């Protein structure tokens, strides 16, 4: 396969795995806990590289967002994966609806601000809910009479065991 230079850069993964990683600043209770292994995902390719490693395959896994719904009671004897995938884009729009795609590493409130500033309504009641876009469907975040499920179209996710992409539709 031949890549143009900027395409090639997209595919290079700088994924690293760190040992005995301090999680104090990655959970909102600021509990002092460590992870046996830790890796940050900045590009989708990083994740595809990570899942091939023995550190990933041979350990229990914890996918971490903003750490606002996690209480560590001891060190985590496995690998913590921090999703830092960024991006918010408008996919399409008609007279009544707009479809917005947001990556899991975005902060949830940044997505709310993006929508409100463009004059779109639907998730404004969920403003200031702490945490990430990636955690929002896991938790089905809700506030003031609205839940994420009311506005969610689908979730794209990677299957951990195979690295294949899956799309989960709301209904």
Answer yes or no whether residue 146 interacts with ligand FAD by CB under 6 A. no
For residue 30, the tally of other CB atoms under 10 A from its CB is: 12
Answer yes or no whether residue 158 interacts with ligand FAD by CB under 6 A. no
Region binding ligand FAD by CB under 6 A among candidate stretches 4-12, 56-64, 93-101, 162-170: 56-64
| Cα–Cα nearest to 46, from 84, 91, 95 | 84
HSE-up of residue 85 (Cα within 13 Å, Cβ side) = 21
**Which of 69/154 has CB closer to ligand FAD?**
69
Q: Give the per-residue contact string, 68-97, with ligand FAD (x = CB under 6 A; - = no).
A: xxx------------x--------------
Size, binding site for ligand FAD by CB under 6 A? 24
Identify the burial level of 81 via C-beta atoms within 10 angstroms of its C-beta, where 0-12 means exposed, 13-18 middle and 19 or more buried: buried
Answer yes or no whether residue 138 interacts with ligand FAD by CB under 6 A. yes
**Which of 4/60 has CB closer to ligand FAD?**
60
> Which of 139, 151, 154, 163 touches ligand FAD (CB under 6 A)?
139
Answer yes or no whether residue 62 interacts with ligand FAD by CB under 6 A. yes
Answer yes or no whether residue 39 interacts with ligand FAD by CB under 6 A. no
Answer yes or no whether residue 109 interacts with ligand FAD by CB under 6 A. no
């Amino acid at each position: 396969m031949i890549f143009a230079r900027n395409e090639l850069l997209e595919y290079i993964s700088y994924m690293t795995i760190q040992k005995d990683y301090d999680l104090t600043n990655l959970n909102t209770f600021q509990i002092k806990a460590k992870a046996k292994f830790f890796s940050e995902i900045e590009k989708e390719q990083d994740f595809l590289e990570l899942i091939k490693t023995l550190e990933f395959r041979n350990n229990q896994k914890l996918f971490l967002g903003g750490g606002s719904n996690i209480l560590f009671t001891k060190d985590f004897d496995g690998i913590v994966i921090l999703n830092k995938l960024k991006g918010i884009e408008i996919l399409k729009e008609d007279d009544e609806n707009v479809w917005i795609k947001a990556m899991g590493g975005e902060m949830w409130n940044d997505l709310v601000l993006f929508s409100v500033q463009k004059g779109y309504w639907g998730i404004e009641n969920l403003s200031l809910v702490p945490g990430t876009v990636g955690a929002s469907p896991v938790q089905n975040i809700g506030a003031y009479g609205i839940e994420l499920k009311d506005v969610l179209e689908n979730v794209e996710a990677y299957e951990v065991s195979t690295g294949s992409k899956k799309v989960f539709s709301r209904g």
